[in-house]
Amino acid sequence: ELEESKYGDVISSLTGPIHKKSQIQKLWLRSRCCMLETLHKIVQKRN
């Protein structure tokens, strides 16, 4: 499911250069959220 949305973002960013900046921001925010979730899980496992 995550892989599909990733490729969808890549395709839409390639087909719509006007929205490229917002797509990059969305991808960056998403990857940042994933990182925070992963860190949160690691911290929970330690405690």
Give me the DSSP letters along 6-33.
Answer: HHHHHHHHHH-GGGHHHHHHHHHHHHHH
Looking at residues 23-31, what average pLDDT do you find?
85
37: pLDDT strictly greater than 90:
yes
Three-class secondary structure of residue 1 per DSSP: coil
Statement: residue 18 has pLDDT above 70: no
The confidence band for 38, taking pLDDT boundaries of 50, 70 and 90, is: very high
Q: The whole model's pTM is what?
A: 0.43
pLDDT recorded at residue 41: 93
Q: Which residue has the higher pLDDT, 15 or 43?
A: 43
